[in-house]
Amino acid sequence: MMQYSKRVTHDEQRDAAQMLLATGIVLLMSLLSMAIFGVKVAGMTIPYDSSSDAVIVTTHDVIDVMPGLTQQRTENWINGGLDRIESCQYAVQSIHDDLLHHGEIRGVEVKLIGLTVTDIDGQSIRVTGELGVSDGNSMLTTQVNYTIVA
């Protein structure tokens, strides 16, 4: 009889230890999930800066540089043997691709939307569309409308 009671006691102790371990793991997981949630909530306002002007500055930079850059890239494509309109379309597409990458580096998203290239008089090309710039806090859309000579 004595051996039976020792065995029961040993089994009960092992079960109690396993239950204690399981309870500890559950508590640890709960604390971890609460910590992750707390970090997310605490970090919600960290990137917000009401004085941040990255969207405005980037919008002005893009609008200032686009006509000259389009002119130069269009001339390069024309010198390479492409048609004027096709050259301008390639130039605008390459600018769009560069701006996407540039925005990733600066922490803003820059997109050129619905750009159209139109021949005006056989010597001038009009580029129209929309520029969208955004960051984590704000978004600005602006019409793009300029003419190059090519």
The encoded tokens of residue 102 equal 């540039």
- Rounded Cα distance between 82 and 73, Å, is 12
Q: Tell me the per-residue pLDDT of 29-86, one tens digit each, with 9 for 90 and over.
A: 888 777 776 665 555 555 545 556 788 888 898 999 999 999 999 999 999 999 999 9
Segments making up each domain of the chain, as ranges: 1-46, 54-149
Closest by alpha carbon to 88, among 102, 100, 101, 72?
72
How much is the pTM? 0.62
In CATH terms, 54-149 corresponds, of 3.30.930, 1.10.3470, 3.10.450, 3.40.50, to 3.10.450
Q: Using an 8 Å Cβ cutoff, are 88 and 150 in contact?
A: yes
Q: Which helix (H) or strand (E) holds 132?
A: strand 124-134
pLDDT at 47: 52
8-state DSSP, 45: S
